Each structure stands twice: as structure tokens, then as C-alpha cells.
Amino acid sequence: MTTLEMLNPAGLLTDRNVRTDLHLTPAFIGSVKANGIIVPIVAIRDPEGIRVRAGHRRTAAAIEAGLTEVPVVVIDTDTDDEATRIVEQIVEEFGVTKAVVRFHEFGMRKVTAHHLGGA
């Protein structure tokens, strides 16, 4: 099941990211502070809590901006594969538009790297 929830970004769990630098510029943080998070963060619900899968930069910027609620698409899953997580991050980094379109095409179901790659 997939839900859209308003959550405190400070409570989200984050893992190592494919980006070595999140580029949290003052302009980006200022934009997040003024406008909030426009594109929801994507996360999975696992036994430890809500874990960010796409949107590490938005999460960090929201925390820096002092936001207490951000939109998060939470996907309930029973598996968490490291390779799939990294592929999803790369798709987000280099193909956000394609990924968003594919999420809509798949009706926000559990989306895998296979779906996002179109293979």
C-alpha cells in the first residue's frame, strides 16, 4: 500500500546516498523555507521506521530550513535491496521527470528499478 503522509523530516531515516555532496546552498534552503517541499519525498516503511529512498537532498534541506512537516510518499514493502535503492536514487538524480511519469503510470504501486528503467 502507498500513502501520502505529512511527516517531520527530522524523524525520517536516511542511508548513504549516491551524491557525495548534497549541495545545500543557501538559495536552495531559502527556497525550501519559503515554498516548502513541492515534490514529495519517497520512502519505505520498514521495521526501524520511515526510510528515505528518494529525496535525501530535500530531506536535509527541510531539516536545515526548520520545517516540521513535509509530504512523503510512503511505500509499504517487505524487501529492501541495496542495489535497487541505489538505482532508484540514480534515476531520481538523472531522470526525475521520467521517474515521476512512471510513478503515475504505475498508479503509485510499489515501483521497482525494473519499472523505472522501462526494461
Is pTM, for the whole model, over 0.85?
Answer: no
- Provide the domain limits for residue 85: 2-117
- For the chain, the domain total comes to 1
CA-to-CA separations, 98 to 48, 49, 55, 118, in angstroms, rounded: 30, 28, 15, 10
What confidence category does residue 119 fall into, taking pLDDT thresholds of 50, 70 and 90? very low
pLDDT score for 42: 85
For the segment 49-84, what is each residue's pLDDT rounded down to a tens digit? 998 988 888 999 999 999 999 998 887 765 556 546
CA-to-CA separations, 20 to 24, 57, 74, 77, 80, in angstroms, rounded: 12, 11, 25, 27, 22
Domain with 98 in it: what CATH number? 3.90.1530.30
Type of residue at 106: F
pLDDT score for 113: 45
Averaged pLDDT score across all residues of the chain:
75
pLDDT (mean) for 24-38: 91
For the segment 96-118, what is each residue's pLDDT rounded down to a tens digit? 555 555 555 545 444 444 444 44
If one compares 41 and 79, the residue with the highest pLDDT of the two is 41
